[in-house]
Amino acid sequence: ILNVEQSPQSLHVQEGDSTNFTCSFPSSNFYALHWYRWETAKSPEALFVMTLNGDEKKKGRISATLNTKEGYSYLYIKGSQPEDSATYLCAFPLIQGAQKLVFGQGTRLTINP
């Protein structure tokens, strides 16, 4: 069984601080990695889809890097704001061309004002 693991499971950060967390995935047979942001009582929101080793993507204060050889992706948030509080999920397709995503358990980020 191939698993996606995210760490830490939970993170509390002071407003204004920067933070990062990890998504680990099997490095063999890599096809793509998705990052989603999921706020309580809302639906998951796509952040990034990353496909190439060394990819770095940015959206405002959020950025992500990808290392397919060692099987990890980092998500960085610079200057955390209360609205960044959410669960951040990574997911990847198990089989090339497959549409179903295997999700990690997420990192629940809480920004303390």
Give the residues lining the site for another protein (CB under 8 A): 32, 34, 36, 42-46, 48-49, 89, 93, 97-106
Q: Which residues contact 16 (CB under 8 A, 6 or more apart)?
A: 79, 80
**Please, which residue, 11 or 101, has the CB nearer to another protein?**
101
Minimum separation from the CB atom of position 15 to another protein (A): 27
Minimum separation from the CB atom of position 76 to another protein (A): 19
Q: How far apart (Å, rounded) are the C-alpha atoms in residues 7 and 33?
A: 16
Q: How far apart (Å, rounded) are the C-alpha atoms in residues 77 and 109?
A: 10
**Please, which residue, 2 or 46, has the CB nearer to another protein?**
46
Minimum separation from the CB atom of position 75 to another protein (A): 15
**Please, which residue, 35 or 80, has the CB nearer to another protein?**
35
